[in-house]
Amino acid sequence: MSDNFQLLEWDTNFFGFQVAKAKKDFLWKNSNNKLRQLNEQDIELIVFNSSKPDFEKLENRYYEIVKVYNRVPIIKEVKSKTINHPKIFSYKDEIPSPELIDLAKLAGKEGRFGRDHRISQETYDKIFEEWITNSVKRIVADEVLVYKVDEKVVGFGTLKIEGDNGFGPLFAVNRDYEGKGVSFALMRAIENKLIEKKCKYLVSGTQEINKKALGAFRRFGFELQTPEFVYHLWKINYNK
């Protein structure tokens, strides 16, 4: 693929067809020509992040454009190591527990897979079962931290390290334990792990509509970046 597109290996393997992510804002210029070329290359699904809204209004015959959600990137410089909460553990089993699978599904509910009407509930469930399974096996994550109450996982966060940055792909807390300090305990533990690994920043993102989460991240010291608009483009078979 060109420098303006990245083939998403995990997505491609899961769906069984080519899934690519476009460089941010790249599809705004000469849109129809670019979409035609991607269609002819058999790219079935394109993930496109835009700094501007209304890309879904583009008229074309190559892809169905689905606006999935507005994402707020967040970043925090990690500096001070603290003591982990005694109920925080590194998840060591290679098979996720039922409650961890449920939390993984909860983590993605308002994300790009959960908000796309083209993705069925059955497919959605399979996505996050496989995602959390590959995370605990350390295939797509370097660490999985959990918060346990009476041996039951009530919150978790996954961590992927790339260079100086640590990324938090999945994070969720059982609804019954919201507001009880579980989120902050997990975030502190994630930050401690990054400091151990000599990372400088923790990078993640959340939904713009999730004001509660945004408030919590802000209180924990995250800087909220400019929102971006996330789209899925599904290939249309057209007559050439």
How confident is the model over 128-163, as pLDDT tens digits?
Answer: 999 999 999 999 999 999 999 999 999 999 999 999
* 74 in any annotated domain: no
- Binning pLDDT at 50, 70 and 90, where does residue 3 land? confident
Residues 38 and 60: their CA atoms lie apart, in Å, by 13
Burial string for 17-51 (b: 16+ CB within 10 Å, else e) reads: ebbbbbeeebbeeebeebbbebbeeebbbbbbbbe
- Binning pLDDT at 50, 70 and 90, where does residue 53 land? very high
On whether the CB atoms of residues 66 and 118 are closer than 8 A, the answer is: yes
pTM: 0.91
* 84 in any annotated domain: yes
* 224 in any annotated domain: no
* 217 in any annotated domain: no
- Binning pLDDT at 50, 70 and 90, where does residue 2 land? confident
Quote the domain boundaries for residue 40: 5-68+229-235
Closest CA to 170 of 94, 214, 110: 110
- Binning pLDDT at 50, 70 and 90, where does residue 239 land? low
Give 69-113 pLDDT, tens digit per residue.
999 999 999 998 999 999 999 999 999 999 999 999 999 998 899
Give 167-198 pLDDT, tens digit per residue.
999 999 999 999 999 999 999 999 999 999 99
Examine the domain organization and report whether 46 and 133 are in the same domain.
no
Examine the domain organization and report whether 52 and 90 are in the same domain.
no
Q: What is the pLDDT of residue 226?
A: 95
- Angle separating helix axes 121-136 and 98-107, nearest 10 degrees: 120
Q: What is the pLDDT of residue 1?
A: 55
Q: How many domains does the chain have?
A: 2
Q: What is the pLDDT of residue 240?
A: 59
| Phi, psi (rounded to 5 degrees) for 19 | -120, 130
Closest CA to 153 of 85, 100, 105: 100
User: pLDDT at residue 166 above 60?
Assistant: yes
Examine the domain organization and report whether 99 and 14 are in the same domain.
no
Burial class (CB in 10 A: 0-12, 13-18, 19+), 193: buried
Calculate what percentage of the chain has a pLDDT beyond 90.
90
* 56 in any annotated domain: yes
Residues 62 and 76: their CA atoms lie apart, in Å, by 39
On whether the CB atoms of residues 71 and 207 are closer than 8 A, the answer is: yes
The Cα-based distances of 30 to 7, 22, 25, 33, 49 in angstroms read: 21, 14, 11, 6, 16
- Residue scoring higher pLDDT (213 or 49): 49
